[in-house]
Amino acid sequence: MNYLAPSVLSADFATLGTDISIVAAAGAEMIHLDVMDGSFVPNISFGAPIISSVRKITNALFDVHLMIDDPIRYLDDFYKAGADLITVHYEACKDVEETLSKIDSYGILSGLAISPDTPVSVLEPYLKKVNMILVMSVYPGFGGQTFIENSLEKIRAVRAMADQQGLADLWIEVDGGIGAENISSVKEAGANVFVAGSAVFKGNVKELIDR
């Protein structure tokens, strides 16, 4: 199963609830919520209160991507806000396994992300402990960046590792620079969850879903 996960960073925050409702009605089953702390990444976005507010207007799966240092400190807040899936960064966790175990304790989905300069080999010990791997195809922290082409090789490598461990159901999400011109090649590389911001909120969500 393939999923488009529109990133609300590219939505109009003055009409955020309406924008989310529109893309969900168009067929987007996941909503990607980027939480940035100004420390792990050089930008600040929003926190649990915003997620809690928009949780009331849709049943779409809330894919909460924590780009924050030591995320275990705030997992309770995001779970209570309505996250269905919480993804943390390998680079940001003091103890990756402890952080993932805490997410699992809530009975929700867990994800582990890597930034562009991090080798995929670091993921191997955790593949059986998560529901999803997120391959960042841009440097985290800002929307509207260009897709980094060698991300395709990283996606293929993650899919191969998953296959070697018998994890055919592992989701592989790709975030950054995804649009109509490259979503097919990202899919062919082995991804099945596609984060798109500008291409959705400033483009044609139906076109991307149909691909």
- Catalytic residue selected from 19, 34, 37, 63: 34
Nearest partner of 153 among 137, 131, 173, judged by Cα: 137
Distance CA 162, CA 30 (A): 22
- Catalytic residue selected from 19, 37, 63, 175: 175
Centroid of chain to Cα 14? 23
Q: What is the DSSP string of 142-178?
A: -SSPPPPTTHHHHHHHHHHHHHHTT-TT-EEEEESS-
Q: Do residues 70 and 94 make contact, with C-beta atoms less than 8 angstroms apart? A: yes
Let me know if 34 is a catalytic residue. Answer: yes
Question: Can you read off the two tokens belonging to residue 10?
Answer: 């590219």
Give the Å distances, CA to CA, from 63 to 18, 36, 175, 177, 209: 18, 14, 12, 18, 17
Active site residues: 34, 175
